[in-house]
Amino acid sequence: MGAPLSDKSCIGDVGVTVGNSHIGVVELSSMVIWALMELEKVQMEVGKIGNHNVTTENRVLEEADKIPEENGFLRSLQQHSTLWNTKVASMSRSFRWVPFLPVQPGDTFLRALLLLAKHTLKVVPVMDPIGKKVTGFITEDTALRLLSQCSGLEWFDAIAEKALHEFNLHFYRFEDNKSSRGMLHLNGANTVLDAVSYMWEHKAECVPILDHKSEKIIGNMRVTDVWILLDNADVFKRRRSMTLQELLSIDIESNHARTRDEDERDAMISPAALYLTEDWRPKMSDVATCKLDETLKKLMWRLMRVHADCGFLVDEDMHMLGLVTLHDIITQFIPSLTQFSQAPPGFFLT
């Protein structure tokens, strides 16, 4: 979930010059992670001030834990006025806003795909040209689902029916196909705070969670999963000690409490899903995996079934070999961008 950023007064501060007041799209999940990291810095300082002789990390965390957190994430932020009153513009130094590159209802789907592919966007805003208001967003997930409706057409199947090993190696990323240790990953013994810090450090949108003994994939942590820290005050309070294995169990239980049937989920992903509807978050344990001899189309169906941001390439023993993002898949269906070098001015806004 995100929001278009529109503030003429801060355009000069961030060095952005555009023809209207929209200067970007800010993602809530990125803001939450930023706030969590800043909150940890503040609380570490509180611990140091509380005892100048602090020599161990455990002592610092003990002091930090004295700050009441029973009421959850937002209340904790409110206790720190410096963080609570931070202007969105000043956050630009810590994380990059998604560019604001909109389409209009009358534009073609190809234009939206080109924007997603060329600019590595997560969302493309849909703007009413008359009211100059954002009426919805085209996400990578929505684009993938609309693409899948072309199944059976010759041009689509010529690409989608290929085995994953037939694509260029840049299509998936791996360093050592004998071990998952050469890739970005977390394990079930890591704490929730470890996971958030790791994703922030590596600017990762999605990281697999491996069993710490077998190294098999048991789940994945996505930036959107930080929602659980807002929804569950206990998870936020115990983020320094709660393991990802525990979090996976809590997440499964919370999802059971609000399970939708498949027809209802499918209805959410119709073309009408270009417009904002009720939120639904997939389980962290729902992972899309695929082997190198399986087709791109099969991976696409699995990604759509679990509403995943990325899929993982695995061997016969479920050990990770690499990952495939939605952006990786979308770009396979886009004609060479050089074909659009003669596009009219304004076709791509940069």
SS (H, E, C) 266-323: HHHCCHHHHCCCCCCCCCCCCCCEECCCCEHHHHHHHHHHHCCCEEEEECCCCEEEEE
Residue 329: pLDDT band (50, 70, 90) is: very high
> Tens of pLDDT along 90-101?
776 666 666 788
> Tens of pLDDT along 260-273?
544 444 444 444 44
Tokens of 305: 């079934």
Whether residue 350 is predicted with pLDDT greater than 70 in this model: the reply is: no
Whether residue 18 is predicted with pLDDT greater than 50 in this model: the reply is: no
Average model confidence (pLDDT) across the chain: 76
Residue 204: pLDDT band (50, 70, 90) is: confident
Asked if 294 contacts 163 with a C-beta cutoff of 8 angstroms, the reply is: yes
Looking at residue 75, its pLDDT comes to 84
Higher pLDDT, 210 or 179: 210
Which fold does the domain 150-332 belong to in CATH?
A: CBS-domain (3.10.580)
Domain spans of the chain? 2-100, 150-332
Q: What is the pTM of this model?
A: 0.74
| Range picked from 56-70, 120-134, 136-150 for highest mean pLDDT | 136-150
Q: Please give the average per-residue pLDDT across 47-74, as a whole number.
A: 56
